[in-house]
Structure 1
Amino acid sequence: MAAAVALGAAARGTTAPNPNVGCLVIAPDGAILGRGATRPGGRPHAEAVALAEAGERAQGASLVTTLEPCNHRSHRGPTCTDLILQSGVAHVVAAIEDPDRRTSGEGLHRLRGAGISVESGIGAAEARESMAGWLTRMALGRPRVTLKLALSIDGKIALPSGESKWITGEDARAHVHLERAHTDMILVGRGTLLADRPRLDVRLPGLEERSPRRALLSRGEPVEGWEMLASPEDVFRLHDVNDLLVEGGSATATAFLAADLVDRILLYRAPIIIGEGRQSVGYIGLDAIGDAHGRWEPRDGRRLGIDRLEVYERVRQPGPASLDFARD
């Protein structure tokens, strides 16, 4: 399952509106017969890719997938449940059930009814993490929103003049580019656009084609080459975005936090002190310290060269899946 999760995770940022699933077809002796990840644009599904590679060798083999095989009809291709039944696979392992009510549990039920041995729940936490963007969209009707902040030790994002290049070092900047490569869309505010003219592309060797779509948070005139969001709440109309990365600046970060639309924070902290300078975030509607507690959970922390990365996730209660944002 770990290998299937890795395949799916590598496809994150390319498969919307579908999930980035990973799949393996494995022979009884442990040999890998087929590997698959959801292809760009969401089709073919990972199971279809892995089964096509395995071909007739799939007879009697095991299929390991990070998400329950789909069981609802689509004009874009056959259901994965049908493909598995036709392949002769004898055993299926799925990390998590599909939250789409059109399939939820029915794909695995149908496979069991056909005499196929089925297991689920193995590697569930890792699979959920790898598909967090799509699962957020299914549960909340919008993409998973990640806020990226590059700060000094004393929490500043720029000098009073607005100069901010470069607060962090090369290793931290490379990590940001890797995050961009696994993002469907990246967003900044008009102030950042005018001050920095950011390219917001991916400049890691071999991943240049993974540059995400660019969005601008602004009520002003449209800008060529940018998709416009008038307010943070416009993320609810992004039906073909699983992961949205918000990069700047302070006003944009404040707007998304005040609207409680940030699910994950990537905080890159540089070992410098700026003193008087621009704050990373303004007033977000909290009037008591007690109201700030319990909202964020630290999930990761590591050194990136001279800098340090801290990852936090918003604590939320799970919600029901939305058919409007199901996979195709």
Structure 2
Amino acid sequence: MVRAVELAARGAGTVLPNPVVGCVLLDAHGHTVGEGWHERAGGPHAEVNALRAAGDTARGATAVVTLEPCNHTGRTGPCSEALLAAGVTRVVVAVRDPWPTAAGGIERLRAAGVDVVLVTPALAAPAEDVNRVWLVATRLGRPFVTFKAGVTADGRVAAADGTSRWITSAESRADVHLLRSRVDTMMVGVGTVLADDPWLTVRDSDGMPIGPQPLRVVLDSVGRTPPGARVLDDAAETLVATAADFGGGLRVDPAAVLSELYRRGRRHVLLEGGPTLATAMLDDDLVDEMLCYTAPVVFGAGRMMLDGGRTATLVEARRAELREVRRCGPDVMLRYAFR
């Protein structure tokens, strides 16, 4: 299962709006005879790729998969039927499929006499984590939201004079562009547009746009985005969400924007907005994970990573779980999960 999770991770950034899935086929002696992962949306699923790699050795094998084999026909056929046709006799599953349309693979396999095993929660946890974007989006009916911030060691995103470029290192900025290449949507508030005039694009080391670009979303309640803003250039598609279209009141409703993005097939939002928007979305329980790129710099004054908010006591504080710690040059990246 550990290997299947590693394989699943290879599909990050290429399979959206579909899940990342990994599959390992073992013969009767426990030897690997085939491996596969879901490589791109619309392409063969992990089980099919593993079966192709195994060929005739798949007969009588055990399939170890990170997500319940699908049981429906979409752009590809049902993986449950592919496993049956190949003669697989045992299937080990980490996570049940929460999408009703595709669910039922376990029941179909068991009805055909296949031994299906669901792993323990401890073994399932890495499979949940690697596929967290699709699982949370499917369960909640809105995109998974990652809040990213580059901060000083004392939690500040700008100095007292407003300067913020660059707090973090070149290595951290390169890592962020890799992250941008793996999401399908980027979101900021109009305050960030007015203060920083960002492009919100995936760029190479020379600063040039590279590869498929995520949708850019600006939450702009009263339409203050300047016509000449970089975020409106032709490097990528942009949605300016106003209160008139999303909320009907004086302020744009982030939940309504997320619902519309999900309807449009968007599954992963990278929130790069300033402290005000991030705090508002945290207050509304709309942030699923937080990435903090922490630089070995101390300001002692300046704007904090979060600003305001409804939390008044320690009891009301939102608790997160530290899921990942990684060096980025002189900086440290911390990934916290709220679910």
Q: With the length of structure 1 as denominator, give the TM-score of the two structures.
A: 0.84
Are 2:42 and 2:76, in contact at CA under 8 Å, matched by a contact in 1?
A: no
Cα shift at 1:148: 0.7
Q: Report the identity percentage.
A: 39
Cα shift at 1:202: 5.1
Is residue 99 of structure 1 aligned with residue 121 of structure 2? no
- For residues 34-73 of structure 1, the aligned pairs below 5 Å read 34-73=34-73
Partner of 2:321: 297
Aligned-pair Cα RMSD in Å: 2.7
Query: In the TM superposition, what whole-angstrom CA distance separates every residue of 1:209-236 from its partner, at most 9, and x where no partner exists?
Result: 3653332222426835313344421112
The aligned amino acid for 2:144 is R
The aligned amino acid for 2:91 is V
The aligned amino acid for 1:215 is V
The aligned amino acid for 1:235 is L
Cα shift at 1:256: 1.7
Inter-CA distance 276–201: structure 2 relative to 1 (3 Å threshold): same
Inter-CA distance 211–4: structure 2 relative to 1 (3 Å threshold): farther
SS in 1 for 2:60: coil
Cα shift at 1:51: 2.0
Indicate the larger mover: 239-248 or 213-222. Answer: 213-222
The aligned amino acid for 1:23 is C
Are 2:61 and 2:88, in contact at CA under 8 Å, matched by a contact in 1?
A: yes
SS in 2 for 1:238: helix
SS in 2 for 1:25: strand
Gaps in structure 1 of 5+ consecutive residues: 316-328
| Equivalent residue for 1:244, pick from 255, 269, 278 | 269
Are 2:147 and 2:290, in contact at CA under 8 Å, matched by a contact in 1?
A: yes
The aligned amino acid for 2:254 is P
Cα shift at 1:261: 0.7
Are 1:178 and 1:204, in contact at CA under 8 Å, matched by a contact in 2?
A: no
Cα shift at 1:204: 7.5
Query: In the TM superposition, what whole-angstrom CA distance separates every residue of 1:173-218 from its partner, at most 9, and x where no partner exists?
Result: 233233223322222223333424334315389xx53653332222
- For residues 256-295 of structure 1, the aligned pairs below 5 Å read 256-292=281-317, 294-295=318-319
Q: Distance in 1 between matches of 2:7 and 2:214?
A: 20
| Equivalent residue for 1:227, pick from 189, 214, 239 | 239
Indicate the larger mover: 109-118 or 61-70. Answer: 109-118
Inter-CA distance 33–212: structure 2 relative to 1 (3 Å threshold): farther
Partner of 1:121: 119
Partner of 2:337: 313
SS in 2 for 1:56: helix
How many residues are aligned here?
311
Cα shift at 1:146: 0.9
The aligned amino acid for 1:39 is E
Gaps in structure 2 of 5+ consecutive residues: 243-252
Cα shift at 1:30: 4.6
Q: Distance in 1 between matches of 2:240 and 2:34?
A: 41
SS in 2 for 1:78: coil
Inter-CA distance 80–228: structure 2 relative to 1 (3 Å threshold): farther
The aligned amino acid for 2:93 is A
The aligned amino acid for 2:202 is D
Is residue 18 of structure 1 aligned with residue 18 of structure 2? yes
| Equivalent residue for 2:216, pick from 210, 214, 217 | 214
Partner of 1:203: 204
Q: Distance in 2 between matches of 1:139 and 1:94?
A: 18
Partner of 1:86: 85
Q: Distance in 2 between matches of 1:108 and 1:204?
A: 46
The aligned amino acid for 1:91 is R
Q: Distance in 1 between matches of 2:17 and 2:324?
A: 27
Cα shift at 1:31: 4.7
Are 1:73 and 1:79, in contact at CA under 8 Å, matched by a contact in 2?
A: yes
Query: In the TM superposition, what whole-angstrom CA distance separates every residue of 1:102-143 from its partner, at most 9, and x where no partner exists?
Result: 454x31222122222222216311100011111111221112
Q: Distance in 1 between matches of 2:47 and 2:171?
A: 35
Q: Distance in 2 between matches of 1:29 and 1:165?
A: 56
The aligned amino acid for 2:114 is I
Cα shift at 1:13: 2.8
The aligned amino acid for 2:162 is G
